[in-house]
Amino acid sequence: MSFSEKIVLITGGAQGIGKKTAEKFLQEGASVVICDYDESAGKATIEELKNEKVEFFKVDVTDSTQIEHMVGSIEDKHGRIDILINNAGITLDGFLTKMEDSDWEKVISVNLSGVFKCTKAVVPIMLKQGAGVILNASSVIGLYGNIGQTNYAATKAGVIGLTKSWAKEFGPKGIRVNAVAPGFIETGMTAAVPEKVLQLMKEKTPLKKLGKPEDIASAYLFLASDHANFINGAILSVDGGLVI
């Protein structure tokens, strides 16, 4: 599964699933660009990866100007973008009756509008190439909802709608669009979750364990590869059987 000469852009790539995804693609020979709003984490990741084929941009995915500057810089340097992984996301959980408008708007802005803005900036390059792969981060929460996550569930359901619409819109142009819907994954977000709750998550999952970032990274790697060249508009659940 070689990605040599492929240019991969990963949003939210400085840590967690995004970071592990960058590692996977680098191992397969790709040139990887990671962007993240957290500059210190981004620089630390670049230092840790120690690979001349990875670079970092400090970008807020809610800011179209920053996105367009990054995409223009990538095109100037590499002449193409082959794979876009819209991985950036946040949570600001709370029951509906206690959720502030600002918590709703911030999550929508990052998790949904960020996917729209990044894809809108990259698609013209893929259209010129006549080829490309766009992968979006959804969630089992977007498929089935969850108590206390109104804003997050709405964004991840919205990402599914974007994915299916773009698969129809850009499929005839040689661009495949798919999404991954992770279940409970061990990341920085879950590190702050009480052990009692983590145990409950494990019990709800038929495999009786939490997923790891590399499980999601491997799904991205497969969907971006030629092995998946007839997969378009799919939402791949990577959840240990959670929703069976």
In a domain, 205, yes or no: yes
The reply to whether 1 falls in a domain is no
Is position 243 within any domain? no
Q: Cα separation of 46 and 34, whole Å?
A: 9
In a domain, 114, yes or no: yes
pLDDT in tens, 153-162: 999 999 999 9
Predicted TM-score (pTM) above 0.85: yes
Q: Would you say how long the chain is, in residues?
A: 244
Asked if 177 contacts 130 with a C-beta cutoff of 8 angstroms, the reply is no
A 10 A CB-CB count for 128 gives: 12
The domain containing residue 132 runs over which residues?
7-237
pLDDT < 50: residue spans in the chain: none
Cα separation of 124 and 112, whole Å?
20
Amino acid at 39: E
2 inside domain: no
Residues serving a catalytic function are: 152
The domain spanning residue 165 has which CATH number? 3.40.50.720
Distance, in Å, from the CA atom of 34 to the CA atom of 78, rounded to the nearest integer, reads: 14
pLDDT confidence of residue 32: 98
Label residues 206-243 b or e (16+ Cβ within 10 Å = b): eeeebbebebbbbbbbebbbeebeebbbbbbbbbbebe
Q: What is the pLDDT of residues 86-128, one digit of tens each?
A: 999 999 999 999 999 999 999 999 999 999 999 999 999 999 9
CA 227 – CA 205 distance, rounded (Å): 28
Does residue 121 lie in a domain region? yes
Number of domains in the chain: 1
Q: Is residue 179 part of a domain?
A: yes
Instruction: Look at residue 36 and tell me if it is in a domain.
Output: yes
Strands of 31-36's sheet, edge to edge?
A: 54-58, 31-36, 7-11, 83-86, 132-137, 175-182, 235-238
**What was the pLDDT predicted at 61?**
98
